[in-house]
Chain A
């Protein structure tokens, strides 16, 4: 079961900050849900720079990012 962060609607750079806090607590992997491409790209870049592999699934207006080692 993944830990899930809901960063929908948050303005820059809060989605990244929430992701950072989540992976600090759960370094094995987290899921992040965002609702705009800016947040999607920012979280993806941050996760990759932190050494995670990122899978992205589009879900209606949202994007579900799965961060794993």
Chain B
């Protein structure tokens, strides 16, 4: 099977599993949502106390562990870090704030589209604009500089954290919060969610599936490789939502969504720009973290902390629409990201050349 077939198949698997997870209990159009699920996990750990979105999501654990095992087996596992870790932490926070304005990460955006939620179209346009701006920074020499090799054991810590979360999920000690109503109380059986996550983690690691990489590579290099996975998810989840009867075309009364077009647009613009500067969408950050990329682990921690902020400070939107605080946070986020973009742009970016040729491009 060539690369393109594999990534299309992976997209199809992700789309099918997302639909199956809805059928088995996850919220509608939210079979998978990386940011929402990190947010639910943050809530379960008490990092925020929004009672309707607290649950340790096994899908996240599964994706990380699946990617870890796949990386170990394939030899891709390689511990490295040091590429602007704190900047990535900040970017992680704002990717979450943008996503929770829209109510979904780039993956859920595709699943919402597949479910007929037309609000996601505005999200998609905003996402594309954010990516376009990010590509502009990349083309002008934006870089967070290189990573360096680290102790192998450092790379195991992320997966150890996932095992600890799995233990907390199963043991359910008193200090862990689980929603009894709202989206956090809607979930598929643990073993199925975990297994689905592992399958996604393995296949996404092997194919490097990335929601933001698709549009980015299409814009930058006219490369359709990654976007074909994106489209496969959309097509399969669209078919699946008809099969399980959740397809509902329109803007209003969409599940876990609001119809404020401007803020759906701006939220995903923030998430798209942040993801391009990070080099990958939230799902890809988990996979990279599991492969030993400590900068992506730091990004994950930023997303965890950011989702705590998002609910503690009333930044996350709800079915009732965006909040005033959320609007301010998204605008601040766009400003911060643009500043980060400029501050990390090397004018006359130097390409290191051997053979007595120094060129500046």
Contact = CB atoms under 8 A, between A and B. Distances in A.
B191 interface: no
B17 to A, nearest CB: 23
Interface stretch (B110-118, B258-266, B351-359): B351-359
Nearest to A11: B279
B138 A17 contact: yes
B73 interface: no
A45 B146 contact: no
B50 interface: no
A10 B118 CA distance: 37
A25 B223 contact: no
A57 interface: no
Contact of B351 (A9, A11, A18): A18
Interface residues of A, number: 32
Nearest to A30: B353
Given A8-B146, A12-B280, A38 B213 contact: no
Interface in A9-40: 9-14, 16-18, 20-22, 24-26, 35-38
B26 interface: no
Most buried by B among A5, A13, A16, A21: A13
Contacts, number: 85
A13 B143 CA distance: 10
Given A11-B83, A13-B138, A36-B76, A5 B223 contact: no
B357 A3 contact: yes
Contacts of A4: 352-355
Contacts of B295: 11
B216 A13 contact: yes
B97 interface: no
Interface string A41-53: 1100110010000
Contacts of B145: 9
A25 B139 CA distance: 15
A7 B320 CA distance: 47
Q: How large is the interface on B (under 10, 10 to 19, 20 to 34, 35 or more residues)?
A: 35 or more
Contacts of A41: 3, 208
Given A9-B83, A13-B217, A14-B138, A61 B76 contact: no
A24 B279 CA distance: 23
Contacts of B359: 25
Contacts of A8: 146
Contacts of B148: 9
A59 to B, nearest CB: 14
A5 B138 contact: no
Contacts of A12: 210, 213, 279-280
A25 B280 CA distance: 28
Interface string B274-313: 0000111000000000000001000000000000000000
B361 A25 contact: yes
Contacts of B175: none
21 contacts: A2-B355, A4-B352, A4-B353, A5-B352, A8-B146, A9-B148, A10-B146, A11-B144, A12-B213, A12-B279, A13-B138, A13-B217, A17-B220, A21-B349, A22-B351, A35-B78, A37-B75, A38-B76, A42-B208, A45-B225, A46-B221
* 5 closest cross-chain pairs (CB), A and B: A9-B146, A11-B279, A1-B355, A9-B147, A4-B354
